[in-house]
Amino acid sequence: MEPTVYPSPNHPNVRLWDLPGIGAPDFQPTTYLRQVNFKRYDFFVIIASERFKCNHAALAREIEKMGKRFYFVRSKVDEDLRNEERDHPRTFSQESVLERLRMDCRKHLQKAGMSNPEIFLLSNCEFTNILLASMIGFYKYFGLDDRSLANLARQAGKPIAELKAVIISPRAEEINRDVVIKLLLKEEKGLPRLTANLPVLGPMLTVGISFLTTYLMLLSFLCGMAEDAERVRKTALKEDKKKHK
């Protein structure tokens, strides 16, 4: 499998690369990085759906040697939680299981020479919550939250309702898990079946939505908010014709 690029339609400098997995028995980190032309990437996301393996540490070590940054994501955490609860129902503790998984990843990465590895645990529910929190955070980033709009309206001498009237995206308070799932499903319907499961250095998600679908959904959402922010800015700067009559 060759690296596949997915460029942003609105941001020519942003590209997402889907790289082959590293599970082959003859995997060699130095050869792998050369084959995928690592110099073209700004950072790596290493995803493992099972227990930590030596290949992950070897790959992380080679990436760090080249001065590149990486994030390690341990997916399918919900399966570990279910298995632990089934096997040890009386002593089961979600916090303890998650901490053990995180410490196991950190121990192997530190053993491989990583001083302070960035480790993220991902499950079905948690992934949706991460998307939800990120999308809500975008409103503040683009100045579309109520507080930012109120400040802009005061500075421009315009009613806040006039600024809100040009916003097409859903309001921040309208964004919930159901909306996130609907947006993902809507985006997935427009994708060919062949792109339903694209690995990015390993299996990406445990939900039935591909990483590409998530990427396209967030990209569309961001572009929509950027356009809203531009309309709000133009509305705020537009002079009131009545004042000049």
DSSP notation for 165-215: TT--SPPGGG--HHHHHHHHHHHHHTS-GGGSS--SSS---SSSS-HHHHH
- Judgement on whether residues 95 and 7 belong to the same structural domain of the protein: yes
Q: What's the burial of 221, exposed, middle or buried (CB within 10 Å: 0-12/13-18/19+)?
A: buried
CA 28-30-32 angle, to 5 degrees, is 65
Round to whole Å and give the CA distance between 117 and 119. 6
pLDDT in tens, 130-170: 678 778 888 888 899 899 999 999 999 999 999 999 999 88
% of the chain surpassing 70 pLDDT: 75
Expressed as residue numbers, the domain containing 55 is 1-122
CA end-to-end distance (rounded Å), the chain: 67
- Judgement on whether residues 25 and 89 belong to the same structural domain of the protein: yes
- Judgement on whether residues 162 and 67 belong to the same structural domain of the protein: no
Round to whole Å and give the CA distance between 197 and 217. 16
Of 63, 92, 122, the last residue of a domain is: 122
Of 122, 151, 169, the last residue of a domain is: 122
- Judgement on whether residues 204 and 234 belong to the same structural domain of the protein: yes
Number of domains in the chain: 2
- Judgement on whether residues 178 and 98 belong to the same structural domain of the protein: no
As a whole number, the mean pLDDT across the chain is 76
Output the pLDDT for position 199: 37
Residue of higher predicted confidence among 104 and 208: 104
pTM: 0.50
Confidence check: pLDDT of 205 > 70: no
Of 72, 103, 122, the last residue of a domain is: 122
- Judgement on whether residues 114 and 133 belong to the same structural domain of the protein: no
